[in-house]
Structure 1
Amino acid sequence: MKPACSYAATHAASLADPAAFWLRQAAHLHWDTPPTRPLSQDAQGFYRWFEGGELNTSFLCLDYHVQHGRGAQPALIYDSPVTNTLRTYTYAELLDMTERFAGGLRAIGVGLGDRVIIYMPNMPEAVVAMLACARIGAVHSVVFGGFAPHELAVRIDDAKPHAIICASGGMEFDRIIPYKPLVDEAVAKATHKPAHVVVCQRDFVTATLQPGRDLDYRKLLQAPPIAALPVPATHPLYILYTSGTTGRPKGVLRDHGGHAVALRFSMEAIYDLAPGEVMFTASDIGWAVGHSYIVYGPLLRGCTTVLYEGKPVRTPDAGAFWRIVAQHRARVMFTAPTAIRAIKKEDPEGRLAHKYELSCLRHLFLAGERCDPATFAWAQQVLGVPVVDHWWQTESGWPMLATLVGLEGMPPPRPGSAGHPVPGYDVQILDEAGEPVTAGTTGLVAVKLPLPPGCFPTLWNDDARFHEAYLATFPGYYLSGDGGYRDSEGYCYIMGRVDDVINVAGHRLSTGEMEEILAAHPAVAECAVLGIADSLRGQVPVGLVVLKDGQTIGEEALEKELVATVRARIGPLACFRTVLVVKRLPKTRSGKILRKTLRQLADGEAFAVPSTIDDPLILDEIRAGLQRRAVGLAYEASHPSQ
């Protein structure tokens, strides 16, 4: 049942008196020691939530529900088509594994405040490791399984973990990727040497253990169970690394108290999920979405969460997500727009969705990148449920803009928009001088301080970088790095990173708007528009498009149609003349298109291949295509007079 309070009243109350509003939300959780100062500032002037309070996230996710009669309820459904495994863990079973593994960590010397790196795919043992770290006050840092050894070594040297917990390997479709050799190479490269590497052996690949340093995960599970340790609300829960503009990753920090309060609130207000209901979040635990809405959010709310080890397609087909929704009776599904586009590419008519009984599904939530209206409309038509695009970042840890389906009086979702500000967030659109812009004008998306609970209080061991990167540009605001606008009805639109705005002969144009136009073409499955350096105009846009399966339109004909459409919608000033058909787009493992890397490639700039890229060979294919079409690397030489 939706709370009686309306969205408008709830959002207004959260801004009028943030401390009182969030203290009321905190009362829904079990505190070992109630907080004495809901909102305070530290010596650097950074905001902190619930100072003086003590609690434990692992207790709130597990013990609390077992003690209140949910021990026999499914907590975690592990669905792994790549390993042909399906298993359900009740709250009581998940608690037993967690408290034993926590005892095992304590036995090998992991204590309060120690860091632990978790290098694993989506598997139950990874979730247990996260909750076990939280249980003893250790700080976990999940690194996506399969990350390059150099990047893992960088994270080892930054976090300085006492231990690394890894799987013996992972599986991508039918390809086995041994993890242990990657971990060994990373440890060899790193200056800091962890005391232990704990290895979870999987049936399809066995890792060789190094005597004295390496331990078997199963042996730690045999330790006597231990109780959850109450920790200060401001105590770090985890570090999650995100890319930095300098190439050095930023360690986003999350604390126990604010994180628990915000996520529990979001599960009810944003996603409208009641205890006992099922949430299927198709992400990875190595990303913020996986932390918040595979692991912590659903368990804090007493829901059942689906942990999926697979892809949206080819495991075995483009109906994989719909099978999971139907089989596990998911009320809410959460994924990235790129996953929907991948499904749409292989099943343009959505026929596979019609094989399954999907009446259980109430909402599809999308985030991670901007959802173009064409993808929004396709998903809504195929599923027959509201599609909610919402916006948040690793730094925020939970949504900043959304359609809060759990509150009354919420304006409905609108294609292309990420919705309205979530309670706690005073979202502003600013010009380059830091002044608010008028409705309909594109500007810089910022959030007025203080940020609500759940957002990062700082970066791991780098307060100066935290201030410089996020707070220094506009004093009193958090600068998101994204551009966007708000329409006359209050709907907010996120158009992508600020560096995705291109300047064509003095005209600032959004590549997101052009991508929206290209994506609406019936032959296009997904696309990216990048600005390429031009000696006359500064930049000119070039479109990269992936065709839907079964499409036979020629590249020349498609280019002609798309150029005409962009010209009609935006005008000749866009100088949009070139479309390149590619087999696929370079993306991170979380599905974000690597636009900055594409732009650097096209402009002939030196760049490092991002550690997060899913297939580096794609870049070579696109480089060859750009050279073939005489754009990008060869543009100025081929068009000296244009």
Structure 2
Amino acid sequence: MPETAKRSAREHYESLVSRANQAPEDFWAEQARRIVWFRDPATILAWDAQEHARWFIDGEMNICHAALDHHVANGRGDQVALYWDSPVTDSKCQYTYRELRDEVARLAGALRDKGVEKGDRVIIYMPMVAEAAMAMLACARLGAVHSVVFGGFSPKELAIRIDDATPKVILAASFGIEVDRVIPYKPWLDEAIELATHTPEACLILQREQQRATLGPRDHDWQECLAHAQATEAVSMLGSEPLYILYTSGTTGTPKGVVRDHAGYAVALHYSMEILYGTRPGDTFMAASDIGWVVGHSYIVYGPLLMGASTVMYEGKPVRTPDAGAFWRLIEEYRINCFFTAPTAFRAIKKEDPDASLMAGRDLSSLRSLFLAGERLDPPTYHWLNDLLPVPIVDHWWQTETGWPVAGNLLGLDMITRQASGPRAPVEARAGSATWPLPGFNVQVLDGLGDEVEPGVQGNVVIQQPLPPGCLTGLYHNPARFHAAYLAAYPGYYLTGDGGYLDEDGYLFVMGRIDDVINVAGHRLSTGEMEQVLGSHEAVAECAVIGIEDSLKGEMPLGLVIIKDAWRGDESALRQALAQRVRDEIGAIASLKDVLIVERLPKTRSGKILRKMIRQIAAGEQYQIPSTIDDPASLEDVREALSEAGVGLAGQARSA
């Protein structure tokens, strides 16, 4: 990129950041004018009792109306709004904006017939079917607060959320399907209701043809309810009123219910679709995630529809449905312009198809960008993708709590003001970095005393108040916990819980959770750095580094790696070479104790490696198997590898 272009992009970016930081009310009032309101807000920014920002509190709108009715009224009624693709059931369908609006309006009417009103809570416990997105939008249309519980959560975990949210109605399906198993949603729902203290008044059950469920006295057939329902118009909502509760994954005991509002969320998502993802009305956008996670809320359902794009909803996996070419097939078939998934998905693809041979012959000319988030995009995976695809590969970082990205390479930076022809990377990416914080997120890195650290020095990543629109407004009926978890450590700042650093050019490097930093002989070392080194070896598909107790140095790092299917070599020699590579590239202080080869690593269904659990197993501690775990058998792989290496007592499991 020419130096003048770099300067121009940097100057444009810095002007936006300056406006967002110095005059946030003016900046966000301008962005708010880009969505549709029933009544424009007079109060742009207000502060609650905890000195936490609240946005557009007296404006009136409805996010479902803005995502559907508005586009139908403005000529997009015949454009496809939602593609649904399910290789696990060999099914596909699509809905135009008009068809989706009509289905959602009738479902809202069915909910109203069951007594659901503005402010009531509705739990959605469904697989990745089109009706799950309709359920979210129908709740929003009524002003009911939806809480999506990841499909397949255990009855115990579902019961905890039922007791916390106290839903009037639960929407569920007869079953869900994974690659190699059927998940009995309805029996698990019945068990959860028996376990819970709170009992919903009714359950609407979507009967999937492959396996129907037996309905009980409180249950109602989804399609029968819709057949008798009248379409319902969108309810006017104050901007500050709640849209949904989303419980953070992997919680034990009482979960943290992140609360999001209608207006701030709508403004932020619309802005991010333009400035970060470079998406325009009429584009096709796909987030390969699940509606049970924040990515599904923000960028399968609400974000693309607010923009007037077509969204692709996928009931499948990156591999084994049927193979590691699934994503390439989706991009070609639906002419996807912007694709978004987790790094772990492409690490799985790289493991099974390291040369991307399954991409051969696919027409991927529609693809303009590839975005990754959910776990740190390790440089080896970044370089593999960058060599493979002639489009920007964008690592971006955000959290359930923020609701939309905190940092990323702004592909739409020129589109809003200069009407550029399409998305392009304004600056060069740096492997391992999420690039720059987005306008509105004043990101800083502080030490334990609250002082800002020098560029390149790792510390605690925080965001100065006010947080921009779209971030959490609090935790459901628990303000004390909200303050203690996020605001108390550094007054005036939001604590992200992640560690990292800003380099001399303002690029943000997020190295992992704060508790993933280990202390070796008084030196604080990032496990993320060591994983970066291990992952760069040609034999390694995926890896994790943890700290284990050491009587002399306090902690010592231990690596666990998954090797590529196609790799053939001596495993003992590979282990030695990997340990030496870490010492060579980070220094002798790294003192990597050993590298163990495992078949699988325990992960959540969203792709996050459960490093804390691996540490607990290594330390011989009792550990809780989280409801979000993707493959419980992976724990045995880790236990066996650690036991064979003589590490710890290999822990004792407690069922979730």
TM range (shorter): over 0.9
In structure 1, the residue corresponding to 2:46 is in which secondary structure?
A: strand
Alignment of 1:439-478 (within 5 A): 439-478=455-494
In structure 2, the residue corresponding to 1:481 is in which secondary structure?
A: strand
- Distance in 1, matches of 2:181 and 2:516, equals 35
Given the alignment of the two structures, is residue 143 of structure 1 paired with residue 159 of structure 2, yes or no? no
Q: What's the CA shift string for 1:330-354, capped at 9, x where partnerless?
A: 1100000000100000000111122
Match of 1:37 among 43, 53, 72: 43
- Distance in 1, matches of 2:493 and 2:251, equals 20
Given the alignment of the two structures, is residue 158 of structure 1 paired with residue 164 of structure 2, yes or no? yes
- Distance in 2, matches of 1:163 and 1:532, equals 46
Structure 1 unmatched ranges of 5 or more: 636-642
Are the equivalent residues in 2 in contact too, given 1:170–1:177 (CA < 8 A)?
yes
Match of 2:226 among 214, 221, 235: 221
Alignment of 1:521-600 (within 5 A): 521-600=537-616
Alignment of 1:163-242 (within 5 A): 163-211=169-217, 213-222=218-227, 223-242=229-248
Are the equivalent residues in 1 in contact too, given 2:445–2:502 (CA < 8 A)?
yes
Aligned to 2:4: none
In structure 2, the residue corresponding to 1:508 is in which secondary structure?
A: strand
Identity of aligned residues (%): 57
Q: What's the CA shift string for 1:111-158, capped at 9, x where partnerless?
A: 110000101111110000000000000000001110011110000000
Are the equivalent residues in 1 in contact too, given 2:600–2:637 (CA < 8 A)?
no
Aligned to 2:647: 631
Alignment of 1:294-309 (within 5 A): 294-309=300-315
Given the alignment of the two structures, is residue 435 of structure 1 paired with residue 451 of structure 2, yes or no? yes
Match of 2:116 among 101, 110, 113: 110
Given the alignment of the two structures, is residue 488 of structure 1 paired with residue 504 of structure 2, yes or no? yes
Aligned to 1:267: 273
Q: Which moved further from structure 2: 350-359 or 93-102?
A: 350-359
- Give 1:355 shift: 2.5
Aligned to 2:3: none
In structure 2, the residue corresponding to 1:607 is in which secondary structure?
A: strand
- Distance in 2, matches of 1:394 and 1:438, equals 28
- Distance in 2, matches of 1:144 and 1:3, equals 40
Given the alignment of the two structures, is residue 51 of structure 1 paired with residue 57 of structure 2, yes or no? yes
- Distance in 2, matches of 1:78 and 1:135, equals 22
- Distance in 2, matches of 1:549 and 1:97, equals 45
- Distance in 2, matches of 1:477 and 1:246, equals 26
Alignment of 1:351-500 (within 5 A): 351-408=357-414, 410-500=426-516
- Distance in 2, matches of 1:369 and 1:634, equals 26
Aligned-partner residue type, residue 604 of structure 1? G
Aligned-partner residue type, residue 24 of structure 2? P
Match of 1:601 among 598, 617, 627: 617
Aligned-partner residue type, residue 463 of structure 1? P
Are the equivalent residues in 2 in contact too, given 1:502–1:509 (CA < 8 A)?
yes
Are the equivalent residues in 2 in contact too, given 1:7–1:410 (CA < 8 A)?
no
- Distance in 2, matches of 1:234 and 1:5, equals 34
Aligned-partner residue type, residue 161 of structure 1? P
Aligned to 1:639: none
Are the equivalent residues in 1 in contact too, given 2:67–2:308 (CA < 8 A)?
yes
- Distance in 2, matches of 1:3 and 1:201, equals 52
Match of 1:322 among 314, 322, 328: 328
Pair 634,266 (structure 1): closer, same or farther in 2 beyond 3 Å: closer
Q: What's the CA shift string for 1:432-479, capped at 9, x where partnerless?
A: 001100001000000000000000011111111000000000000000
Q: Which moved further from structure 2: 36-45 or 66-75?
A: 36-45
CA RMSD across the alignment: 1.5
- Distance in 2, matches of 1:454 and 1:325, equals 29
Aligned to 2:344: 338
- Give 1:18 shift: 0.5
- Distance in 1, matches of 2:594 and 2:454, equals 33
Aligned-partner residue type, residue 41 of structure 2? P
In structure 2, the residue corresponding to 1:199 is in which secondary structure?
A: strand
In structure 1, the residue corresponding to 2:577 is in which secondary structure?
A: helix
- Distance in 1, matches of 2:412 and 2:571, equals 46
- Give 1:570 shift: 1.3
Q: What's the CA shift string for 1:48-75, capped at 9, x where partnerless?
A: 1002101001100100000000000000
- Distance in 1, matches of 2:614 and 2:449, equals 29
- Give 1:197 shift: 1.3
Are the equivalent residues in 2 in contact too, given 1:170–1:178 (CA < 8 A)?
yes
- Distance in 2, matches of 1:602 and 1:264, equals 45
- Distance in 2, matches of 1:618 and 1:545, equals 13
Are the equivalent residues in 1 in contact too, given 2:456–2:501 (CA < 8 A)?
yes
Pair 540,3 (structure 1): closer, same or farther in 2 beyond 3 Å: closer
Are the equivalent residues in 2 in contact too, given 1:114–1:138 (CA < 8 A)?
yes
Are the equivalent residues in 2 in contact too, given 1:353–1:383 (CA < 8 A)?
no
Pair 244,451 (structure 1): closer, same or farther in 2 beyond 3 Å: farther
Pair 574,245 (structure 1): closer, same or farther in 2 beyond 3 Å: farther
- Distance in 2, matches of 1:554 and 1:55, equals 63
- Give 1:300 shift: 0.2
TM-score by length of 1: 0.97
Pair 308,3 (structure 1): closer, same or farther in 2 beyond 3 Å: farther
Pair 80,5 (structure 1): closer, same or farther in 2 beyond 3 Å: farther
Aligned-partner residue type, residue 132 of structure 2? A
Structure 2 unmatched ranges of 5 or more: 1-7, 415-424, 652-656
Are the equivalent residues in 1 in contact too, given 2:461–2:496 (CA < 8 A)?
yes
Alignment of 1:236-255 (within 5 A): 236-243=242-249, 247-255=253-261
- Give 1:507 shift: 1.0
Aligned to 2:421: none
Match of 2:136 among 120, 130, 137: 130
- Give 1:247 shift: 4.3
- Distance in 2, matches of 1:403 and 1:481, equals 22
In structure 1, the residue corresponding to 2:623 is in which secondary structure?
A: coil
- Give 1:243 shift: 4.1
Aligned-partner residue type, residue 91 of structure 2? T
In structure 2, the residue corresponding to 1:455 is in which secondary structure?
A: coil
| Number of equivalenced pairs | 633
Given the alignment of the two structures, is residue 94 of structure 1 paired with residue 100 of structure 2, yes or no? yes
- Distance in 2, matches of 1:247 and 1:441, equals 35
In structure 2, the residue corresponding to 1:51 is in which secondary structure?
A: coil
- Distance in 2, matches of 1:150 and 1:199, equals 20
Q: Which moved further from structure 2: 553-562 or 134-143?
A: 553-562
In structure 1, the residue corresponding to 2:131 is in which secondary structure?
A: helix
Are the equivalent residues in 1 in contact too, given 2:62–2:235 (CA < 8 A)?
yes
TM-score by length of 2: 0.95
In structure 1, the residue corresponding to 2:624 is in which secondary structure?
A: coil
In structure 2, the residue corresponding to 1:221 is in which secondary structure?
A: helix
Aligned to 2:288: 282
In structure 1, the residue corresponding to 2:494 is in which secondary structure?
A: strand
